[in-house]
Amino acid sequence: MTLPGSDMLRHSFPEQYERCLVGPLFRPWAEVLVERARLTAGARLLDLACGTGIVGRLAQEVVGGDGRIVGIDASAPMLAVARAIAPEIRWREGRAEALPLEDGEQFDVVICHQGLQFFPDKPAAAREMRRALAPGGRVAVGTWRPLEEVPLFAALHAVAIRRLGPIHDQRHSYGDPTAISTLLRGAGFRNPQVEILTRALHFPDGEILVRLNAMALLSMSGAGKALSEDDRMELVGTLVREGWEAVAPFRDGVALTFDIASTVAVATC
């Protein structure tokens, strides 16, 4: 197994996210949301919690030159990567609970891809999504299902807990269909349609996923945050070695293939 740790250190986390995770992990689900949102040529789209911009980039292929796409994210470093890849899209820094909209600006579709679970005030964010939409507009959101329904990540989480103790991992914290439907209705959306979908994903170099996930879990742990940088790097190496053994059922050589489930909701206003 090749450990590309030194190569990864040459890139910021947003660059690693785009280079290593977007294609195999996030793009398939971005495609689902773009399809469920029923985007058309000339449509206006708000990509909320856009990260490095995979939803906006896919949507651009659909809406074309007559469409309008705005991506909003709270992370300036993520937006810097998005701008470098797709400068033709309008990227803005801002919070979901107080969207930085221009006067009179409205959209036909709002898509939020794996962002809702991280918003501190979810009702406020849902109301802001509703405010951003023109009459008859649609919202489409996707959130990962609980860890117990994603065995590969559950195995990696168990390895990390043995080394770190409690981990505050929000990624799988808001996949309940009833909670999402109630949230959308409370914000004024009509007729929420909620699905639980599963996709098989493939990482040609699975160790990269294991390493990036170990780094993420370390940052979510109080014990991990208290370590020196040298100790953190040493512990990442340990989590990668032990995690690689834990995901043996999903390995084919250096590749990983596994199922991951997401809750996908679409509603209108």
What is the tens place of the pLDDT at every residue in 29-78?
Answer: 999 999 999 999 999 999 999 999 999 999 999 999 999 999 999 999 99
CB 254 within 8 A of CB 150: no
The answer to whether the Cα torsion of 202, 205, 210, 211 is positive or negative is negative
Structural domain boundaries, residue 160: 5-268
Q: Two tokens at 105?
A: 């600006």
Q: Two tokens at 43?
A: 């449509």
The total domain count for the chain is: 1
Tens digits of residue pLDDT in 104-134: 999 999 999 999 999 999 999 999 999 999 9
Contacts of 87 by beta carbon, 8 Å cutoff, 6+ apart: none
Q: What's 263's domain CATH number? A: 3.40.50.150
Tens digits of residue pLDDT in 79-108: 999 999 999 999 999 999 999 999 999 999
